[in-house]
């Protein structure tokens, strides 16, 4: 951020009075531009004993597999975001069954929410951001080609819970990748 989105003047980075963190502030109009984490929301769409994954047609992680998920939009609920992303990326209609995981990714200022969901029919296919969409049983999950660590973590929780016979809500934190 270089300029005030309200009045167009250059912004400076400074701790405002009464605040504790540096913010982008405008000395011309007085606006304070806060930056906050974003929600990435998706679904685990279930069909019989399989789940639906999408292969990414966009960066980052082009060509790798993920659950349908994306940035939550203004004016929607978290469950609506999960259903919208599943429709956009996998052309699939779901019924949300419950929140399944909350994964913090603080080094990129994101919180990831994944819902369990039931596919309403087996009519699905790649949306514009997917190369292909497919149902996987546990033995076929491409563990070494999963796009994001939050998704791999959620899928590990999922298959552990399924083995244990009880699905429960999970939380986790993802640390920055180790530099080699």
Q: Would you tell me which residues interact with a copy of itself (CB under 8 A)?
A: 1-8, 10-11, 18, 20-21, 24, 33-39, 71-80, 88, 99, 102, 104, 106-107, 109, 111, 128, 169, 171, 173
d(CA 111, CA 127) in angstroms, rounded, equals 24
Please say which residue, 110 or 152, places its beta carbon nearer to a copy of itself: 110
Minimum distance from residue 59 beta carbon to a copy of itself (Å): 14
Beta carbon of residue 105, minimum distance to a copy of itself (angstroms, whole number): 9
Compare residues 75 and 164 and give the one whose CB is closer to a copy of itself: 75
How far from 93 is each of 72, 88, 120, CA to CA, in Å? Answer: 17, 10, 6
Minimum CB separation of residue 139 from a copy of itself in Å reads 31
**Residue 76 C-beta: closest distance to a copy of itself, Å:** 6
Considering beta carbons, is residue 8 or 125 the nearer one to a copy of itself?
Answer: 8
């Amino acid at each position: 951020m270089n300029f005030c989105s309200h009045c167009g003047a250059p912004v400076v980075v400074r701790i405002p009075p009464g605040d504790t963190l540096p913010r982008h502030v405008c000395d011309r109009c007085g606006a304070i531009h806060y930056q906050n984490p974003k929600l990435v929301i998706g679904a685990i769409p279930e069909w019989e004993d399989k789940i639906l994954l999408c292969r990414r047609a966009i960066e980052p992680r082009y060509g790798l597999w993920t659950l349908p998920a994306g940035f939550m939009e203004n004016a929607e609920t978290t469950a609506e975001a999960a259903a919208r992303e599943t429709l956009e990326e996998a052309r699939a209609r779901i019924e949300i069954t419950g929140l399944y995981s909350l994964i913090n990714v603080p080094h990129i200022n994101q919180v990831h929410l994944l819902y369990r969901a039931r596919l309403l029919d087996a009519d699905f296919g790649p949306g514009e951001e997917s190369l292909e969409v497919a149902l996987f049983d546990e033995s076929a999950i491409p563990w070494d080609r999963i796009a994001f660590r939050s998704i791999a973590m959620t899928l590990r929780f999922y298959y552990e819970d399924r083995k244990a016979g009880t699905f429960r809500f999970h939380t986790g934190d993802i640390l920055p990748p180790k530099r080699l």
